[in-house]
A = this chain, B = another copy of it.
């Protein structure tokens, strides 16, 4: 009964605090839209392509200044040769919890010539989406009031500078309306997300002390096409491997050598066929071992999620989906092995009577909670050995080629571990309640695709992680004509405000 009382008390305090924070954010935003847009446009004007350390550092400094202006104590976490991470702290005296907000200031590589606008780093405001006939609206004085369907076109408008401006605006709104924070709020804004966050684990380990947190919120990604707010509680792990199977030292005339010289394409197809059955079930020994089952809350969330499966099947021209009755939402929560590519010899007009010298395949594994990328890679390599192959990491020597009838080179290209924060956790329930108070019923997603930064944080810091996307689904992330719909920014400010004002658990804390 004490527990129930506690939960009820928590629910009530979350409702009250979230209502207050959301209202504060909305009222403040409604009177400051021009200032918010101006600051956003300034941030978008800073080029942020990967591989440009000077440009990226300018972004880091601008983000740092934005946070400092809101009373956040910031510093740049440096790693040799990497763009700095903007780290910020806002202590709340007496708070027993710490929440870290993640975003990234780097942008996907832009192809300027493909942009309808004048270029990826020259923000243009449009009356609606380009595809819907959007027309330019003058900046910096777009007129008043703003229209929620207006869209700001620029690289990183959706991915992920909207997160930064929404964080800064939410914080400013709460401060202006004097809404008390019940958490120490931290900011962690990196500059290597579009490069796969390769040095993030190193940074996290080096700064583990200051990065301890009760919750990490990743403000990144996009909402679904029905525009419903969603929270995502995990990201699949990922493993990419390149396989090369070796035949004769050079291509041979098949008219002369077939039936005598081994053909690496045949060896490769028989290997790949052994890895997976027609339903998508992976046939590698131990592959599914340790997979953590979904909890009741996750199963309910999957069951309640709107399904577009039938529409998608039609659009994609599919008679059947893999694994029969499995829905797309269910499929996302199961491990998968996918052949990304195969190449051997030539097809079509280039095909000739040849036995290829090598056959290559690119494989990836999507891992779910309970699986480990290193263990999985080892099991896959074991499976290849069981099919009679000698496995090597390097180009095989002459001696090796003459010693082993089947040789498979396995190169590991990338790997991250899976993450899933159980929805049953008290903190998960509290976050759900807060966001629903601001935005109504939300979509609860147990797992999305791989996000290296999420895996790094969960792996090194072992903190609960939740993803809070706010951008529109049709914002052309990672493409040309990236854009943000204004209403998504306005809504995002409210969502982040309630999360910054997230009440502590009603009990004595963790």
Which positions in A face B, CB cutoff 8 Å? Answer: 236, 238, 240, 242, 246, 248-250, 252-263, 265-270, 272-274, 276, 278, 280, 309, 313-323, 326-328, 331-332, 334, 336-348, 350-356, 359-362, 364, 366, 388, 398, 401-405, 413, 448-450
Secondary structure at the A interface, as helix, strand, loop or mixed, is mixed
**Of A249, A336, A360, most B-chain CB atoms within 10 Å:** A336
**Cα–Cα distance between A270 and B271 once the two chains are bound (Å):** 10
Residues from chain B with a CB closer than 8 A to the CB of A398 are 317
Q: Please determine whether B339 and A253 come into contact, CB atoms closer than 8 angstroms.
A: no
Q: Of B262, B339, B350, B404, which one neighbours A322 at CB under 8 angstroms?
A: B262
Supposing A269-B269, A316-B252, A341-B345 touch, asked if A260 and B326 sit within 8 A by C-beta, the answer is yes
A385 to chain B, nearest CB (A): 15
Residues from chain B with a CB closer than 8 A to the CB of A344 are 339, 341-342
Supposing A255-B366, A332-B256, A340-B354 touch, asked if A402 and B314 sit within 8 A by C-beta, the answer is yes
Q: Ordered nearest first, which 3 A-B pairs have the shortest CB separation? A: A255-B449, A341-B345, A273-B273
**Cα–Cα distance between A304 and B474 once the two chains are bound (Å):** 73
Q: Please determine whether B322 and A260 come into contact, CB atoms closer than 8 angstroms.
A: yes
A255 to chain B, nearest CB (A): 3
Q: Of B248, B322, B361, B401, which one neighbours A259 at CB under 8 angstroms?
A: B322
Q: Of B246, B253, B359, B401, which one neighbours A449 at CB under 8 angstroms?
A: B253
A249 to chain B, nearest CB (A): 4
Q: Please determine whether A259 and B314 come into contact, CB atoms closer than 8 angstroms.
A: no
Supposing A343-B347, A344-B339, A361-B347 touch, asked if A255 and B321 sit within 8 A by C-beta, the answer is no
Q: Please determine whether A334 and B259 come into contact, CB atoms closer than 8 angstroms.
A: yes
Q: Please determine whether B326 and A259 come into contact, CB atoms closer than 8 angstroms.
A: yes
Q: Please determine whether B338 and A254 come into contact, CB atoms closer than 8 angstroms.
A: yes
**Cα–Cα distance between A463 and B240 once the two chains are bound (Å):** 58
Q: Please determine whether A348 and B261 come into contact, CB atoms closer than 8 angstroms.
A: no
Residues from chain B with a CB closer than 8 A to the CB of A323 are 259-260
**Cα–Cα distance between A450 and B352 once the two chains are bound (Å):** 13
